[in-house]
Structure 1
Amino acid sequence: MIPFIKEALWNGVKRFVLLGSASIDQDGPIFGKVHQYLKAHAPEWTVLQPSYFMENFTEGPHRETTKHLGKIYSATGDGKIGFVSADDIAAMAFHALTDVVPHNTEHIITGPERLSYGQIADVLSRVLGQSIQHESLSDDELRNSMIRMGMSEEYAAALAGLDVPIREEGREDQTTDTVTKITGNNPISFEKFIQNHMEVGK
């Protein structure tokens, strides 16, 4: 990504918006180096740092295990997360790209509430009218399950590792008013999001 940014800067691009993660700050892996580079070199920049996506439960592995097994698997224990919809993240990106005044900052982006995976399972059970449970795995069990789904060992270890600070440090246990302040609209709640995607249980 950094060579691409260098080329864009050389060609006169001034404004950049990076989609990062609330779990990874500028000193962290993956997005961290890009985050640092933009702050140091881009004339106008924004780093979007959303919490976990609500869409994780309407597509991908969680949807499959919910649909076929009535289970959600994680290693987060009772740790809570400010799940946010991709639509709210997209609205943030639109403003970061088009507002007259550049943001030149990081935005932690969350939904309106902090929920554990157990509470997520309760919402899904109630809205979809079926029994869904959260099963808490060990770190090794979660990593190995991702490898069985076809992920590389390195990527599976990195993803599974994100659950540890959620469980042990409350890393994602937060909500912000960022979406409301920047877009003028309140972020959607998880229950309303699932009501809008009832096909998740079909």
Structure 2
Amino acid sequence: MTSILVTGATGTTGSRTAAQLRAAGHPVRAATRNGDPRFDWYDPATHDAALAGVDRVYLVPPPGETDPARIMLPFLDRARAAGVRRAVLLSSSAIPLGGPAVGEVHAALPGLFAEWAVLRPSWFMQNFLRDHAHARSIRATGTLASATGTGRVAFIDADDIAAVAAHALTTAEAPNTDLILTGPQALAFDDIAATLTEVTGRPVTHQHLSHDQLSEHLAAGMPAEFAALLASLDLAIAEGAEDRTTPTVHHLTGRPPTDFRTVAVRELGRSGGVNDRS
């Protein structure tokens, strides 16, 4: 029986996608640097073994890579030659077809595989709750810094993204399109801070920064080029680019997407989350 290769299998959506596929009885090969076989985006010598016996693949771009196409496209050529017939790519609602970063991979995918899908989720709810710069800042100082102003985002639960990914990988007919995925309600960062304050009983405030201030703030922990890209995405949010909801999660999974308060209670109860702040 052929397997489904899940890249980024220890990450936010990869781990959840692999778990949901296994729970449904599908054979999964989790692609990690410490796995067997080992997989590393930056080491082509690991690619053939990871692809052996695989006919579908979930693609999570290399984290922090500003030009993922240069890494991913040679791998996808190799995957097609190895017999992979369906590819599901994780992109972002903020990155259009042919746009920056993974947008170039999105543009190439239909020409490489007859069966494909591109998931374009809005921003993850888990960014405020798990191992992300926002969550770490909330735990350390009780502040959430952004350049989003009063702009709103229909933040999405990573479990819902994984449910759509599992559907796109296993449904009889591939979507063969890109899928905009959102949560049920568009929220401003001030709303996120208020909900976290309510759920945890500890004050969380939204620190409003300018684009340049945020870029400088982020550059302390990542390459300046990537920091500038992220800051520009915040600016787009401030201008209303993410203020929308879609019915896609409900349509494909048969259940509505989960709201932020429910996810916050679930995730913080699991990990301690912002309650770890002392």
Aligning the two structures, in what range does the TM-score lie when normalised by the shorter sequence? Answer: over 0.9
Deviation at 1:13, TM superposition (A): 1.3
- TM-score normalised per structure 2: 0.70
Alignment of 1:53-202 (within 5 A): 53-59=124-130, 60-149=132-221, 151-168=222-239, 170-198=240-268, 199-202=272-275
1:35 aligns with 2:106: yes
Q: How far off its partner does 1:153 sit? A: 0.9
Moved over 3 A (4+): none
Structure 1 counterpart of 2:124, which letter? F
Q: Which residue of 1 aligns with 2:91?
A: 20
Equivalent position SS for 2:179: strand
What's the offset of the Cα at 1:105? 0.8
Q: How many residues align?
A: 200
Deviation of 1:12 (Å)? 2.0
Structure 1 gaps, min length 5: none
Q: Distance in 2 between matches of 1:103 and 1:201?
A: 38
Deviations 1:134-176 (A, max 9, x none): 1110111111111112x111111111111111112x1111111
Q: 1:56 aligns to what SS in structure 2?
A: helix
Name the structure 1 match of 2:121: 50
Q: Secondary structure at the match of 1:162?
A: helix
> CA–CA distance in 2 between the matches of 1:68 and 1:11?
47
1:39 offset after TM fit, Å? 1.9
Instruction: Name the residue aligned to 2:44.
Output: none
Higher relative contact order (CA 8 A, sep 6+): 1
CA RMSD of aligned residues (A): 1.0
> Structure 1 vs Structure 2: percent identity of aligned residues?
43
Matched, 1:11 2:11: no
Paired AA for residue 174 in structure 1: R
Q: TM-score, normalised by structure 1?
A: 0.96
